[in-house]
């Protein structure tokens, strides 16, 4: 009971302190409430209030201004007095403001094990609801599993706008009706049906669909494995493939010649990060061949890339 009374007194003192420091805030009824949790998950030294605080009440314009107020931290704690100083120096005037936070909030680095900016979500949306959206962003027809230690924040997904299949994790950002942006760290597991050899296949053998079966498999890179017999029709093995081994396009040679001038998607990878851009083939080639390509928007930007299929090439930077 004594501890409860002390906490209630702390909030009362905090409100009185803010009102005294910002007398202009008493000019309008209906306070703007700024709630900051006891633990904040961020790696930034300077943060916007909208990244760590729940802002309610008052007018939308006032909330938007407060959301963009920048506050300095020492990397370990966010002090209440620093929040007050930042608010006093902002363009907010003529409103009542109530700050609900302890004297200092502890700062922890974000990660994928459960550290999130807001550890107390206010909705129950499941990450499974995001599967169709993320698959559409990635242009992916295989399977996708999403895991996170927090429900999906309110609002619409505003970032990122694209994903590369095989990406192991991402930070999704959602913007609610008040303009506040909330992050959600997720782990991504991509799966697709791949073709597997039902018996040993010797180098030089023509690929027989009857000697294959399909099984789901976790993948970390797109465009590596064929998923249907139609994709390997007319191919021959360029190495021995053991029974039970998944086929990869690099193990196969096709008689199909992809002509120079064809527009393709260029995929580049480095240290687990992937990027794509539109490109043009500058040489004829078959799937598995290394050819010269250029960016579609810059004739001077040329690369050596391996043909994955008639629509995709990959630049290896690893």
206 strand-pairing partners: 236
Domains 112-253 and 263-316 share a fold: no
Q: What is the pLDDT of residues 103-117, one digit of tens each?
A: 888 887 764 334 344
What global pTM score does this model have?
Answer: 0.47
Residue 31 binned pLDDT confidence (cut-offs 50, 70, 90): confident
pLDDT of residue 110: 61
Decide if pLDDT at 69 tops 50.
yes
Phi and psi torsions of 99, nearest 5°: -100, 125
What are all long-range contacts of 174-179, with beta carbons under 8 Å and residues at least 24 apart? 178/55, 178/56, 178/60, 178/63, 178/64, 178/67, 179/50, 179/60, 179/63, 179/64, 179/67
Q: What is the pLDDT of residues 112-144, one digit of tens each?
A: 334 344 444 444 578 888 999 998 888 888 999
For residue 247 the two structure tokens come to: 């086929």
pLDDT of residue 242: 94
Stretch 54-80: mean pLDDT: 81
pLDDT of residue 115: 39
Domain boundaries, given as residue ranges, for the chain = 2-108, 112-253, 263-316
CATH class of the domain comprising 263-316 = mainly beta
CATH of domain 112-253: 3.90.1210.10
CATH fold group of domain 2-108: eubacterium ventriosum atcc fold (2.60.480)
Phi and psi torsions of 92, nearest 5°: -75, 130
Stretch 161-187: mean pLDDT: 86
Stretch 150-174: mean pLDDT: 87
């Amino acid at each position: 009971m004594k501890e409860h009374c002390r906490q209630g007194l702390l909030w009362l003192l905090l409100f009185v302190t803010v009102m005294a420091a910002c007398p202009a805030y008493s000019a309008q009824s209906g306070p703007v409430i700024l709630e900051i949790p006891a633990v904040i998950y961020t790696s930034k030294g300077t943060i916007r209030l909208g990244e760590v605080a729940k802002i309610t009440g008052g007018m939308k314009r006032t909330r938007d201004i407060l959301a963009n107020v920048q506050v300095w931290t020492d990397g370990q704690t966010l002090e209440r007095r620093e929040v007050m100083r930042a608010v006093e120096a902002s363009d907010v005037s003529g409103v009542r403001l109530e700050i609900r936070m302890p004297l200092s909030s502890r700062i922890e680095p974000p990660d994928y094990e459960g550290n999130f900016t807001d550890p107390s979500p206010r909705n129950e949306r499941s990450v499974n609801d995001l599967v169709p959206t993320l698959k559409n962003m990635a242009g992916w027809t295989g399977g996708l599993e999403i895991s996170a230690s927090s429900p999906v924040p309110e609002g619409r997904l505003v970032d990122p706008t694209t994903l590369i299949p095989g990406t192991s994790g991402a930070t999704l950002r959602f913007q609610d009706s008040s303009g506040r942006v909330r992050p959600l760290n997720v782990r991504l597991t991509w799966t697709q049906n791949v073709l597997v050899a039902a018996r040993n296949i010797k180098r030089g053998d023509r690929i027989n669909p009857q000697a294959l079966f399909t099984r789901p498999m976790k993948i970390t890179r797109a465009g590596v494995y064929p998923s249907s017999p139609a994709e390997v029709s007319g191919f021959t093995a360029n190495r021995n493939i053991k029974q039970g081994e998944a086929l990869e396009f690099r193990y196969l040679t096709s008689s199909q010649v992809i002509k120079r001038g064809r527009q393709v998607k260029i995929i580049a990878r480095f240290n687990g990060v992937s990027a794509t851009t539109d490109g043009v083939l500058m040489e004829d080639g078959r799937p598995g061949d290394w050819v010269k390509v250029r960016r579609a928007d810059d004739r001077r930007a040329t690369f050596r890339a391996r043909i994955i299929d008639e629509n995709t090439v990959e630049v290896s930077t690893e």
